Amino acid sequence: MGRIVKRLLDIKLPRGRSAFLWGTRRVGKSYWIRQNFPEAPLVDLLKSDVYAEYASRPALLRERFAATRHPLIVIDEIQKVPSLLDEVHWLIENASQRFLLTGSSARKLRRGHANLLAGRAWRRQMTPLSLMEVEDLDLERSIR
What's the confidence (pLDDT) of residue 69? Answer: 85
Q: Shortest CA distance to 113 belongs to which of 86, 90, 73?
A: 86
Average pLDDT over residues 2-7: 57
Q: Which has the higher per-residue pLDDT, 15 or 17? A: 17
Question: Residue 23: pLDDT above 90?
Answer: no
Question: Which residue spans within 1-144 are E strands per DSSP?
Answer: 3-4, 18-22, 42-44, 73-76, 99-103, 121-125, 134-135
Q: Which residues pair with 76 in a beta bridge?
A: 44
CA distances for 77 relative to 44, 61, 67, angstroms: 7, 15, 24
**Which residue type is seen at 95?**
A
What's the confidence (pLDDT) of residue 68? Answer: 87
What's the confidence (pLDDT) of residue 49? Answer: 97
pLDDT tens for 84-127 read 988 998 998 899 899 999 988 666 665 554 565 656 666 777 66
